[in-house]
């Protein structure tokens, strides 16, 4: 009987030791402990047979820019629908409807005229199924590499002179009130 107990005890001990052998991500445990986090939405029930496509013109409420690192990933951005969105002669989204989007990511401008990039996604418009929106929007800054690369190649004739074009930076990416942010609504796409 003692043998059985000792065997049982050693089995429990070894299994518990192997569990504790793993490093725990305590930072995550502490910071996310009391937060109710839902599983991110996946888009797996797609059916792209339908071709009906309606543009939705949006206007940003507070302009954003990559200048001075003034934006962060995950930041919520407010929009307003610029014009009535109609489908089959019926207004689906009236003008002035509020919408939101999230800054998916951005890239600051780079050397040799490489422009900055802002990527927006997760657009949300009231009473509109998200799975029917093709909702990523990419805004780039001024691309100066069209000028920079030819100059760089011309300067390569003079030793090391080509490197001087590295100092020319690309343009910042801005989304201003005057910009038409266009995303597309596909009314016949499958719902998720």
Q: Which is nearer to other proteins, 2 or 68 (CB)?
A: 68
Q: Which is nearer to other proteins, 34 or 127 (CB)?
A: 34
Q: How far apart are CA 97 and CA 189, in angstroms?
A: 22
Q: Which is nearer to other proteins, 73 or 78 (CB)?
A: 73
Structural tokens at position 103: 């800054």
Q: How far is the CB of 95 from other proteins (least distance, A)?
A: 26
Report the interface residues with other proteins, using CB under 8 A: 22-25, 27-28, 31-32, 35, 37-44, 46, 48, 69, 72-74, 104-105, 107, 110-112, 114, 117, 119, 121, 134, 136, 138, 140, 143, 145-146, 149
Strand arrangement of the beta sheet that strand 133-134 belongs to: 133-134, 181-185, 54-60, 76-81, 98-107, 117-124, 137-140
3-state SS of 65-115 is ECHHHCCCCCCEEEEEECCCEEECCEEEECCCCEEEEEEEEEECCCCCCCC
Q: How far is the CB of 90 from other proteins (least distance, A)?
A: 25
Q: Which is nearer to other proteins, 59 or 132 (CB)?
A: 132
Q: How far is the CB of 3 from other proteins (least distance, A)?
A: 31
Q: How far apart are CA 83 and CA 100, in angstroms?
A: 16
Q: Which is nearer to other proteins, 8 or 50 (CB)?
A: 50
Q: How far is the CB of 124 from other proteins (least distance, A)?
A: 15
């Amino acid at each position: 009987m003692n043998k059985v107990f000792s065997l049982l005890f050693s089995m429990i001990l070894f299994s518990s030791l192997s569990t504790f052998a793993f490093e725990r991500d305590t930072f995550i445990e502490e910071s996310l402990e009391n937060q109710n986090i839902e599983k991110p939405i996946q888009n797996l029930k797609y059916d792209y047979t339908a071709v009906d496509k309606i543009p939705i013109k949006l206007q940003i409420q507070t302009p954003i820019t990559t200048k001075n690192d003034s934006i962060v990933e995950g930041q919520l951005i407010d929009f307003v629908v610029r014009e009535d969105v109609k489908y089959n002669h019926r207004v689906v989204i009236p003008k002035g409807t509020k919408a939101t989007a999230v800054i998916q990511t951005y890239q600051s401008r780079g050397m040799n005229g490489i422009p900055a990039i802002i990527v927006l996604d997760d657009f949300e418009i009231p009473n509109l199924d998200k799975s029917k929106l093709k909702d990523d929007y990419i805004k780039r800054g001024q691309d100066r590499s069209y000028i920079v690369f030819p100059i760089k190649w011309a300067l390569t004739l003079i030793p090391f002179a080509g490197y001087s074009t590295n100092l020319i930076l690309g343009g910042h990416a801005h989304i201003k009130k005057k910009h038409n942010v266009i995303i597309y609504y596909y009314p016949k796409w499958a719902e998720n």
